[in-house]
């Protein structure tokens, strides 16, 4: 029986299923329609769409369900880029070292090694899917720096619109290949068979689409790629859809979650006033990577001397440094000073951030930008093994996501998932105190740290998921 009191039909996808059921948690009308598939992917960010494309390429009938439109998640808000050892002289070992240092002893080294080793190929797969990264005069991928990295290894697109470009490419690929999608659909509960094996999900379509009302997708494998939970906080970089639905779904299904307390606060979010709530404009870490300085109201660079990398220390250290200075001076925010960039660099390298600042009455070309930390990336989530498989009674057949997720580490891996996260959010975060700024896997020094107990950010690890940054 489902939580809505009906018995969904048994089909070829569950030859041993018998009676399908969902643990009674949410009250909803009985499903009025149903779809059958081999895999149902919940979420349409970089992690979910990549997983769906890889499943489809493997010959599996795949359905993507998402709470809003395909491109309405955290991925398109990612700015800074994706971290991977792509530069001349750079190696996965160097990326590994930076990430472990940023993780301050909290990393799962196996997960970090997977991330940094498979990251470069994951970026190349995004390019083959149609994503256009910024290039230098010789046609190579242009790289920048972000927090915790000792080298330039952040690939970006559109200057500071990495997530938007990756989202565009993946959405176009999903539509071009004819994958079935259900938009404006809130997933309600996980369906299981009589033996407790995954058998699909129930969902409620709340907007325009081919389906309406409560329905069900029957599938023996469910991929959770639902992003973060920034909207739990009063100020966040996450969009309105980031409300932790995937974690709640897993809990109702009996899964174990871990490290939910590790929520990364991005250091530099545009300060819109003490009463501002909801999604706030991000000011990418890449701005500091290109030479911007954090200063207080007196123009003093207060991060100098606090860490060898100063403004490019891991995110948790910078966020704490800003908060400490605010408390010392009884101030509501600090400033990011990049006036020395000049108008041309702002317009070419950071057009998205420039537009957001000017829309709020601030011109970074001529004045410092007021910034303060805000909730950014959820490092915890459904507890899994290194393959992102959750061996629990209701999730014994959780799918292994064969795709990259943008999760950037902020020590202190994303969306480009820089939120990706988003981010976070994808491969298990390589750190327990961080979060992506753009797309969603993040596990590197500017993002998260992989917990000693492998955990995913609501989505399964996609082999070759690079860490993303912003």
Relative to beta strand 221-224, strand 39-42 is parallel
**Contact call for residues 465 and 422 (beta carbons, < 8 A):** no
Helices (H), 262-329: 285-289, 315-329
**How far is the C-alpha of 239 from the C-alpha of 83, rounded, in Å?**
22
Helices (H), 311-382: 315-329, 342-349, 351-359
Q: Which of 76, 125, 145, 315 does the annotation list as catalytic? A: 315
Q: Return the half-sphere exposure (C-beta side, CA atoms, 13 A cut-off) of residue 413.
A: 51
**How far is the C-alpha of 202 from the C-alpha of 204, rounded, in Å?**
7
Work out the number of other CB atoms within 10 angstroms of the CB of residue 439.
53
Q: b/e map of 397-417 (b: 16 or more CB within 10 Å)?
A: bbbbbbbbbbbbbbbbbbbbb
Identify which of 61, 44, 31, 10 has the alpha carbon closest to the alpha carbon of residue 192: 10
**Contact call for residues 5 and 21 (beta carbons, < 8 A):** no
Active site residue 69: no
As annotated, the active-site residues are 315
């Amino acid at each position: 029986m489902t939580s809505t009191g009906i018995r969904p039909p048994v089909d070829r996808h569950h030859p041993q299923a018998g009676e399908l059921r969902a643990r009674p948690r949410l009250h909803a009308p009985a499903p009025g329609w149903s779809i059958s598939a081999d895999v149902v992917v919940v979420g349409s960010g970089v992690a979910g769409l990549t997983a769906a494309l890889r499943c489809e390429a493997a010959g599996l009938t795949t359905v993507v369900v998402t709470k809003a439109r395909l491109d309405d998640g955290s991925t398109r808000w990612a700015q800074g880029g994706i971290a991977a050892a792509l530069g001349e002289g750079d190696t996965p070992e160097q990326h590994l070292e930076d990430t472990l240092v940023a993780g301050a002893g909290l990393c799962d080294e196996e997960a970090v090694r997977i991330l940094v080793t498979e990251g470069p190929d994951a970026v190349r797969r995004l390019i083959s899917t149609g994503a256009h990264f910024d290039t230098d005069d010789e046609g190579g991928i242009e790289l920048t720096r972000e927090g915790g990295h000792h080298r330039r290894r952040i690939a970006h697109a559109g200057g500071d619109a990495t997530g938007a470009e990756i989202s565009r490419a993946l959405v176009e690929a999903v539509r071009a290949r004819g994958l079935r999608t259900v938009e404006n659909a809130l997933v309600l509960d996980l369906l299981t068979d009589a033996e407790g094996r995954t058998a699909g999900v129930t969902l409620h379509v709340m907007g325009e689409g081919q389906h309406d009302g409560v329905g069900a997708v029957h599938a023996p494998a469910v991929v959770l790629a639902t992003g973060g939970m920034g909207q739990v906080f009063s100020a966040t970089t996450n969009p309105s859809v980031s409300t932790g639905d995937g974690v709640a779904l897993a809990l109702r299904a009996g899964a174990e979650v871990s490290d939910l307390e590790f929520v990364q606060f991005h250091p530099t979010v545009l300060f819109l006033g003490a009463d501002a709530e909801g999604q706030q404009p991000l000011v990418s870490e890449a701005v500091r990577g290109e030479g911007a300085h954090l200063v207080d109201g007196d123009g003093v660079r207060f991060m100098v001397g606090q860490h060898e990398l100063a403004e490019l220390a891991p995110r948790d250290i910078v966020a704490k440094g800003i908060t400490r200075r605010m408390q010392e001076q009884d101030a509501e925010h600090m400033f990011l000073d990049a006036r020395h960039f000049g108008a041309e660099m702002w317009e070419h390298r950071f057009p998205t951030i420039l537009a957001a600042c000017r829309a709020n009455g601030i011109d970074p070309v001529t004045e410092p930008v007021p910034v303060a930390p805000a909730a950014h990336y959820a490092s915890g989530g459904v507890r899994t093994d290194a393959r992102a498989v959750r061996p629990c009674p209701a999730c014994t057949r959780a799918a292994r996501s064969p795709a990259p997720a943008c999760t950037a580490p902020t020590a202190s891996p994303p969306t480009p998932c820089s939120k990706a996260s988003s981010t976070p959010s994808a491969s298990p975060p390589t750190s327990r105190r961080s979060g992506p700024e753009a797309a969603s896997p993040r596990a590197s020094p500017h993002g998260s740290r992989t917990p000693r107990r492998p955990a995913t950010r609501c989505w399964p690890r996609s082999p070759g998921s690079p860490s993303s940054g912003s």
